[in-house]
């Protein structure tokens, strides 16, 4: 989960990992000096566990495994549940001699938790995935609502191993079965066949792969009549918007609810590099409340407000009013208005008035992170601005790394690798990939051949209009500068939906960052609110 350079993908740096070459399952036959290929991954292994949640002692089956999906719907339809071509299908007749020349498929790894002795039609099932794009779901799996939890409370870099893994008293198993899915090319999954990255690494390609996975999963485990929810974090929310539209309108497959955590639909709201899109000032407006929350947390305000949320309401009004007006004027803004707005920005962020004037009232995320605590030679976190770390270069213009990512990543990856092998009995002799090894491959950001910058809001809107019973839950952290909470709220309130569907959306904010669950109190709130959302959604017939 290393923080990459602030390029376009920086907005989704939950797992921004880019080693030199893509790992493939169809390695050529080993040469004398080559390493032996990885052992074949077991299709699935089932173990048992228990967890106490809200006074309930829950017994569950834990299933770790992989499911293979095709690169297209037509190809997928010719694959059996074992991932092999059905006998007599065109795929089986056209199967090449060399596996590397076969049509691309994705072997996707997953970790499912099913409450014992529960009827499928009475038991909701929730599918979880992280973002990136290019991330496995190790973060949600080990940090949020699964049966185990990596202890990371606080805002400091964790001591090195041994780390602490506990039973999770905030697991969502009290109301739903859980499935954590690793995107193609991550986790224990691999990408066999010819040019698989083109088939799976893109906005539409990825969402279609997840749609096929979910269909195959519910077929394999007989869950077609269970209430179904999807839960995406970060770029996973981008995926969710496209995925729910594919399921609803391409697969005749109703979803009960969409749960969004740290949302990003419209990429033009990216606060990392807004200067690359001059004339579009919305990113600065929508990031200001997070700047203010961060300054409040670190006590950098000239006048410290007594409580966060009332303070943020004032900031939001200023952002959408005088600040947005001054930015919209561009070069026509008067020196008097510019000075007045800069003074108010100083009041709300702690950054000097002169700095705001010099920046022409426009400070991007990296500049804010570098300068908020610059008097202490500290860089502020990006994924979670509560975190701080020594600045790598005191003279740099912007942040050069993310202290939050550096603080907790080792604990998550280390404990998962320990847990999956010791408790789930899965992965022996296998390499778990926290993120995709992109190499020379690139993520295809084209969506529905839209020539404008990526915005998937229309997808969720279409799904809501064609299924007026679809419910949406938006969650976000006040201290998230990767996907600011006010930007998520703005996106949802500008969905092209009729007024009658507005009531289908709820908003929940937390005094935490991008991964709201790293703070214990916020994790409890997340559990309680998501559990209530699922229960309420089921009861609204």
The CATH number of whichever domain residue 102 belongs to comes to 3.40.50.1820
Helix (H, G, I), strand (E, B) or coil at 60: strand
412 and 397 in a single domain? The answer is no
263 and 338 in a single domain? The answer is no
pLDDT number for residue 154: 86
pTM across the whole model = 0.91
424 and 533 in a single domain? The answer is yes
CA 262 to chain centroid: 7
136 and 17 in a single domain? The answer is yes
283 and 215 in a single domain? The answer is no
What tens digit of pLDDT does each residue of 57-105 get?
Answer: 999 999 999 999 999 999 999 888 888 887 766 665 566 656 666 789 9
> Measured between alpha carbons, how far is 482 from 515 in angstroms, rounded to an integer?
10
Whether residue 234 contacts residue 264, with contact meaning beta carbons closer than 8 Å, is answered with yes
68 and 183 in a single domain? The answer is yes
227 and 367 in a single domain? The answer is no
Which range among 156-160, 164-168, 203-207 shows the weakest confidence by mean pLDDT? 156-160
Residue 3 lies in a domain: no
**Distant-in-sequence, close-in-space partners of 376: CB < 8 Å, separation ≥ 6:** none
- Angle (CA) 503-507-512 rounded to 5° is 175
Query: Is the model's pLDDT at 291 over the cut of 60?
Result: yes
pLDDT number for residue 409: 95
Q: Which of 536, 534, 406 is CA-nearest to residue 145? A: 534
Task: Return the DSSP state at 9.
Answer: G
> Measured between alpha carbons, how far is 266 from 457 in angstroms, rounded to an integer?
7
Q: What is the dihedral of CA 410, 162, 298, 291, to 10 degrees?
A: 20
Domain count, the chain: 2
498 and 424 in a single domain? The answer is yes
Residue 1 lies in a domain: no
Whether residue 217 contacts residue 110, with contact meaning beta carbons closer than 8 Å, is answered with yes
Residue-by-residue DSSP string for 212-272: HHHHHHHHHTT-TTS-EEEEEETHHHHHHHHHHHHHHHHS----SEEEEES---BGGG-SS
> Measured between alpha carbons, how far is 47 from 111 in angstroms, rounded to an integer?
11
Residue 2 lies in a domain: no
Helix (H, G, I), strand (E, B) or coil at 345: helix
Query: Is the model's pLDDT at 20 over the cut of 60?
Result: no
Which range among 28-37, 190-199, 376-385 shows the weakest confidence by mean pLDDT? 28-37
What tens digit of pLDDT does each residue of 177-200 get?
Answer: 999 999 999 999 999 998 999 999
> Measured between alpha carbons, how far is 203 from 309 in angstroms, rounded to an integer?
35
Query: Is the model's pLDDT at 30 over the cut of 90?
Result: no
Torsion region of 498: left, alpha or beta (phi above 0 gives left; psi -120 to 50 gives alpha): beta
Q: Average the pLDDT over 501-507 and give the result.
A: 98
385 and 421 in a single domain? The answer is no
What tens digit of pLDDT does each residue of 218-228 get?
Answer: 999 999 999 99
Show the beta-strand stretches assigned E in 30-82.
44-53, 56-70
Domain end among 401, 435, 467: 401
Which range among 81-90, 166-175, 457-466 shows the weakest confidence by mean pLDDT? 81-90
Cα atoms in the 13 Å half-sphere on the side-chain side of 51: 24
258 and 307 in a single domain? The answer is no
> Measured between alpha carbons, how far is 89 from 86 in angstroms, rounded to an integer?
5
SS3 content of the chain, % helix, strand, coil (to 5): 40, 15, 45
177 and 110 in a single domain? The answer is yes
Task: Name the residue range of residue 440's domain.
Answer: 8-268+408-539
* 33, 56, 319, 537 from 323: Cα distances, Å: 63, 50, 5, 38
Do the bridges between strand 228-233 and strand 125-129 make them parallel or antiparallel, or are there none, so unpaired? parallel
**Distant-in-sequence, close-in-space partners of 119: CB < 8 Å, separation ≥ 6:** none
Q: What is the dihedral of CA 141, 142, 148, 154, to 10 degrees?
A: -140
């Amino acid at each position: 989960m290393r923080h990459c350079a602030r390029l376009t993908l920086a907005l989704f740096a939950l797992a921004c990992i880019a080693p030199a070459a893509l790992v493939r399952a169809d390695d050529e036959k080993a040469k004398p000096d080559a390493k032996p290929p990885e052992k074949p991954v077991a299709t699935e292994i089932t173990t048992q566990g228990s967890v106490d949640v809200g006074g309930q002692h829950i017994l569950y089956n834990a299933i770790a495994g992989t499911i293979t999906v095709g690169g297209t719907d037509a190809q997928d339809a010719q694959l059996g549940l074992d991932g092999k071509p059905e006998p007599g299908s065109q795929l089986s007749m056209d199967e090449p001699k060399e596996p590397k020349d076969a049509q691309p498929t994705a072997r996707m790894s997953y970790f499912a938790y099913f409450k014992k002795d529960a009827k499928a039609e009475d038991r909701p099932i929730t599918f979880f995935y992280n973002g990136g794009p290019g991330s496995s779901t190790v973060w949600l799996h080990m940090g949020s609502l699964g049966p185990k939890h990596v202890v990371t409370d606080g805002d400091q870099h964790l001591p090195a191993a041994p780390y602490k893994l506990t039973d999770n008293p905030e697991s969502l198993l009290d109301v739903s079965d859980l499935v954590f899915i690793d995107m193609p090319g991550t986790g224990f999954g691999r990408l066999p066949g010819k040019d698989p990255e083109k088939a799976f690494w893109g906005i539409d390609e990825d969402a279609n792969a997840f749609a096929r996975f979910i269909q195959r999963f519910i077929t394999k485990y007989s869950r077609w009549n269970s209430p179904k929810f999807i839960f995406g974090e970060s770029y996973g929310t981008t995926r969710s918007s496209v995925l729910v539209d594919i399921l609803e309108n391409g697969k005749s497959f109703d979803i009960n609810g969409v749960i969004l955590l740290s949302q990003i639909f419209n990429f033009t709201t990216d606060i990392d590099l807004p200067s690359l899109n001059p004339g579009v000032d919305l990113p600065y407006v929508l990031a200001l409340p997070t700047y203010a929350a961060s300054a409040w947390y670190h006590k950098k305000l000239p006048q410290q407000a007594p409580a966060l949320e009332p303070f943020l309401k004032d900031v939001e009004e200023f952002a959408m009013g005088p600040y947005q007006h001054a930015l919209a004027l561009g070069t026509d803004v008067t020196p008097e208005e510019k000075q007045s707005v800069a003074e108010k920005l100083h009041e709300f962020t702690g950054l000097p008035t002169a700095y705001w004037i010099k920046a022409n009232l426009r400070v991007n995320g990296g500049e804010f992170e570098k300068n908020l605590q610059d008097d202490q030679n500290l860089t502020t976190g990006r994924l979670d601005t509560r975190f701080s770390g020594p600045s790598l270069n005191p003279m740099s213009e912007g942040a050069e790394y993310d202290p939050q990512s550096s603080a907790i990543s080792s604990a998550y990856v280390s404990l998962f690798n320990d847990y999956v092998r010791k408790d789930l009995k899965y992965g022996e002799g296998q390499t778990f990939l926290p993120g995709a090894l992109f190499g020379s491959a690139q993520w295809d950001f084209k969506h529905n051949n839209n020539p404008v910058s990526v915005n998937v809001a229309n997808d969720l809107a279409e799904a809501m209009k064609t299924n007026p019973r679809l419910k949406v839950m938006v969650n976000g952290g006040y201290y998230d500068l990767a996907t600011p909470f006010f930007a998520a709220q703005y996106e949802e309130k500008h969905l092209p939906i009729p007024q009658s569907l507005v009531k289908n959306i709820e908003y929940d904010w937390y005094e935490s960052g991008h991964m709201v669950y790293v703070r214990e109190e916020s994790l409890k709130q997340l559990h309680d609110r998501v559990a209530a959302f699922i229960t309420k959604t089921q009861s609204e017939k």
